[in-house]
Structure 1
């Protein structure tokens, strides 16, 4: 069953198609909630009301457009390009994350999102 969430940031909206991990399901169940963004290179992350300590398919290197859960920061991370930890230009998290989904559409749209912006996470 395909589930998704919407990220509403300023006048922009982004749809994230969630995968079938338990972590993605916990995020979907936690919606709706609001947060403030943090920028780290070409990654936007924000704390969410989900506390999952077990990694599922954990890894550090992702693809542009992938969305992951960072258990250390209890944060949802949206990768759209290189981060300060990147080698070879691929998005790389600071530590292992659980991939939970993918942005629909062009991930470069996330370039318009900056630090400390309000994000509203909703179910469609």
Structure 2
């Protein structure tokens, strides 16, 4: 069973925590549930949070399915494909993000639009 339940509008997917940013993961995990209005940027959906964490092993190029925290915007980002800053088909953040989890099946993200309600909870 996945660690995290992510609801995107009427769709749902699961994600598992990663060990790349333990401090960020702890802050996000302690703040769950998190929810907000999603903003689409290419094949990325992000939503603002009240969580404030510094950069931790931050990077711009991330794998498809990455769940990341964006320190510059205090937001959770869900990546599944190219963004406006991508060089090829890889997801690329606007500025460095802290990767905290990985979604196995990103199908639920593809149909998301600006204004889609996103909610993250423990499974």
Whether these two folds match at TM > 0.5 is yes
Distance 2:9 2:113 in 1: 10
How far, CA to CA, are the matches of 2:38 and 2:109 in structure 1? Answer: 12
Is 2:20 aligned against 1:18? no
Residue-by-residue CA offset, 1:9-63 (whole Å, 9 max, x unaligned): 222111121123110121111011321000000000011221002x221110111
Contact 1:68 1:100 in 2 (8 A): yes
Length, aligned pairs only: 120
SS at the partner of 1:122? strand
**Structure 1 unmatched runs, 5+:** none
Unaligned 5+ residue runs, structure 2?
A: none
CA distance in 2, matches of 1:44, 1:108: 13
What is the DSSP-based 3-state SS (H/G/I as helix, E as strand, rest coil) of the residue aligned with 1:16?
Answer: strand
Q: Say if 2:16 is the partner of 1:7.
A: no
Q: Is the 8 A contact 1:5 1:28 kept in 2?
A: no
CA distance in 1, matches of 2:34, 2:91: 26
Residue pair 2:8, 2:109 contacting (<8 A) in 1 also: no
TM-score by length of 1: 0.89
Root mean square deviation, CA, Å: 1.4
Give TM-score scaled by structure 2 length.
0.90
Tell me the residue number matched to 1:47.
Answer: 48
Deviating above 2 A after TM superposition, structure 1's stretches of 4 or more consecutive aligned residues are none
Deviation at 1:8, TM superposition (A): 1.4
**CA shift digits 1:82-112 (9 cap, x unpaired):** 00000022110011111111002x2233102
